[in-house]
Amino acid sequence: MSKIRKVVIPVAGLGTRFLPATKAQPKEMMPIVDKPIIQYIVEEAVRAGITDIILVTGATKRAIEDHFDRNETLESLLKKSGKINYYRQIKEVAEMANFIYLRQKGPYGNGTPVMNAKKIIGDEPFAVVWGDDIWVCPHKPQLKQLIEVYEKYGDPVLTAMKTDDEGTKKYGIISGIQVEEGVFQVKSINEKPGPKIKSRIASLGGFIFTPDIFTALEKTKLGKGNELWLVDAVGHLMKKRPIYAKVIDGKYYDPGSKLGWLKANVEFGLKDKEIRGEFKKFLKKEIK
């Protein structure tokens, strides 16, 4: 069984939920305390054993490429001024993985960037994560948890999370058979079905795919909004082979929304050694 070394991260979206802030900067570059959202996601993938980061970008996403590139002028300045910690941090950003950039081409929809990476992926299994989902996992990175399930069963694996009645209105809901603690064989995914559905297992971004997902995508017709949806291709694939879902042991953040971004900044700020004391005092004062 081939090792999973590649991850596809779609980052071509326009970030309209954050306008006007994202008019001239990528949503994925908005900071959580002192690091952009996309860096947290790349670091998590690297900790899971990923070596090749495939970023599927758009015309307004040059800042992402610059962020993961070397900046020798800045590095030299930091070194000369004795700011060695900052020097090491920005140098390590560019060296943590092999970065590959593609421009998204094709119909709208989250299946298109995956299709764009077909030639780079070849016949290997690979991962996909979204550019605005952050997981903080106490024991193993999100992707590592998915990879372990893939290595056991040899079939595609989806990220899952336990949810409540309200979550059934926000997420796709997985129905299936539990094959071990926290692992389900998926029978169906219903998009935002509401609390009438029995299951409370939500489907989120984060996947391990085998190369046959490309064939499924090629056969998938444009769906809602005249877009190519990855979940529709997963539905086609499910008719031909088992698909599994892993309930992730960790906490999920959605910094792709205004409220989620604010919540992440507060929680990460309260964990930051440099600012947490003063920040906690500030919050107590303001929340009275």
pLDDT at 92: 92
Summarize pLDDT for 26-55 with one digit per residue, the tens. 999 999 999 999 999 999 999 999 999 999
Asked whether 228 and 108 are in contact (CB, 8 A), the reply is yes
Q: Which domain holds residue 210?
A: 6-268
**279 within domain boundaries:** no
Percent of the chain having pLDDT more than 90?
79
pLDDT at 143: 97
Query: DSSP strand E in the chain: where?
Result: 6-10, 31-32, 35-36, 52-57, 98-103, 126-128, 134-136, 157-162, 172-180, 183-191, 201-209, 244-247, 251-253
Asked whether 161 and 140 are in contact (CB, 8 A), the reply is no
The CATH number for 76's domain is: 3.90.550.10
**17 within domain boundaries:** yes
The rounded average pLDDT for each run of 10 residues, N- to C-terminus, in the chain (288 residues) is 91 88 92 95 96 94 93 91 91 93 91 95 95 92 97 96 92 93 93 90 94 94 87 92 96 92 96 94 85
Asked whether 68 and 42 are in contact (CB, 8 A), the reply is yes
**45 within domain boundaries:** yes
Distances (CA, A) of 143 to 21, 40, 181, 205, 275: 30, 13, 17, 11, 30
Distances (CA, A) of 207 to 13, 125, 166: 19, 10, 24
Summarize pLDDT for 148-163 with one digit per residue, the tens. 999 999 999 999 999 9
**277 within domain boundaries:** no
**281 within domain boundaries:** no
- Name the region of 90 (left: φ>0; alpha: ψ -120 to 50; beta: rest): alpha
**280 within domain boundaries:** no
**1 within domain boundaries:** no
**14 within domain boundaries:** yes
Domain count, the chain: 1
